Amino acid sequence: MKFCLLNMELYHPDHGKVVQNNINTWATIMGGTVYNALLFDQGGYGLDYDYFNEIDLVMVALRQETIEVGIKVKERSKAKVVVFLDAPIDHFTTHITRNLQAKMVKLLNTVDAVVVLHDNNIPFFKTLTSKPVGLVGLPFPLKRVGELCPPVQKREEIELGSTIKSVPNQNRNALVNLAALSKIELPGVVDIQDPVEMEYILSIRKYVPFPQIKFRFSNSEWDRFITQANYSLLGLHLDSRYSWGKFPIACAAVRMPCVAPPSFYTQKVLFPGLCVAHHDIERAVTLIKKLVSDAKFYEEAVSYAQSQLDFFSYEETKKRLFNLIS
């Protein structure tokens, strides 16, 4: 099967060739190609929409910028097209214009199937389209993690999942994580990409007495992130988005319990006993302290999560996709 992924990431020659924990993994496991949707539409690859007649399945990562591109692919080619929701549901219900929302509904009724990231989203999207809607998710590189991350002696530190980023509107509730950390006597670890993020944390620490935070510069290299996260004792990801949840599954894969909201589908499946509302700092702190002090509770959480991991494997995820589009 010839496969093509259209998303909004800047072009990189490794897209579709390296193991990651993001949507590009679809191209990797399908042996396909990745194109930036807008760049393709503007002729940046020297191809027109007839190109997709050579493709069996096109996956459009749905963002506001890719809506019209997805419509063009379906209308100008014979390819089977599946829309993959590449953002939380409120991105589409709240943060795009009415005109784009109307075009999105057209797209949902033009393509062959719609893939959502959380089962709670299925009823909503089924009201908008007559096409199949289903939970498929992101394929997770379980085998790769097994090779990179053998069992290690865990350090008494908390891996913070909420991305802090230097872009003001993309800190994803990092402040809630810091508030929770201030009630726990363990240091935190956070992945950063810009020194501005470090300054952000240190400026808050003047007023909020949270423990030391170690800053890790992984430079967006997922292999480096996962091998270092393997040493953390547990994960904390208090984020309000209804989405897939790449962080909880990463925690489970390296035998690390994660405290996070059930609005992450992976959290709900892997760590049902460690689910908290994203703003419920008191319960999050209670669970973390129990994980630290109660070895049996810790091991039970890890063992259960490990028993559920096959659901997220390449093979099972591909099977869900093919069942949806068949």
pLDDT on residue 258: 99
Pick from 103, 16, 22: nearest CA to 65: 103
Confidence label for 166 from pLDDT (cuts 50, 70 and 90): very low
3-state secondary structure 106-123: HHHHHCCEEEECCHHHHH
Chain segment 35-44, per-residue pLDDT in tens:
999 999 999 9
Domain topology for 142-311: Rossmann fold (3.40.50)
Stretch 17-26: mean pLDDT: 77
Domain at 3-135, CATH homologous superfamily: Glycogen Phosphorylase B; (3.40.50.2000)
- Per-range mean pLDDT, top range of 17-26, 31-40, 154-163: 31-40
The residues pairing with 190 across neighbouring beta strands, listed in sequence order, are 215
Span of 9-23, 38-52, 295-309 with lowest mean pLDDT: 9-23
The residues pairing with 217 across neighbouring beta strands, listed in sequence order, are 192
Distance from C-alpha of 89 to C-alpha of 78, rounded to nearest angstrom: 29
pTM of the full structure: 0.92
* Residue matched to tokens 């990801």: 237
Distance from C-alpha of 136 to C-alpha of 158, rounded to nearest angstrom: 30
Whether 32 contacts 3, CB under 8 Å: yes
Based on DSSP, count helices (H) and strands (E) in the chain, helices before strands. 15, 11
Classify residue 203 by burial, with Cβ atoms within 10 Å: 0-12, 13-18, 19+: exposed
pLDDT on residue 31: 92
pLDDT on residue 275: 98
pLDDT on residue 132: 98
Q: Give ranges for CATH 3.40.50.2000 in the chain.
A: 3-135, 142-311
Report the chain's mean pLDDT, rounded to a whole number.
91
Length of the chain counted residue by residue: 326
Stretch 152-162: mean pLDDT: 93
Secondary structure class of 7 (helix, strand, coil): strand
Chain segment 26-74, per-residue pLDDT in tens:
999 999 999 999 999 999 999 999 999 999 999 999 999 999 999 999 9
Chain segment 68-112, per-residue pLDDT in tens:
999 999 999 999 999 999 888 888 888 899 999 999 999 999 999
pLDDT of residue 126 exceeding 60: yes
* Residue matched to tokens 């894969």: 253
Distance from C-alpha of 4 to C-alpha of 56, rounded to nearest angstrom: 8
Secondary structure class of 85 (helix, strand, coil): strand
Q: What percent of the chain has pLDDT over 70?
A: 93
Distance from C-alpha of 60 to C-alpha of 57, rounded to nearest angstrom: 10
Distance from C-alpha of 11 to C-alpha of 311, rounded to nearest angstrom: 30
pLDDT of residue 312 exceeding 90: yes
pLDDT on residue 19: 62
Distance from C-alpha of 40 to C-alpha of 34, rounded to nearest angstrom: 10
Pick from 64, 73, 81, 69: nearest CA to 36: 69
Q: Any alpha helices (H) in the chain, and if so which ranges?
A: 25-30, 37-41, 67-76, 89-93, 98-110, 122-128, 142-148, 174-181, 195-205, 222-229, 246-253, 265-270, 281-293, 295-307, 314-325
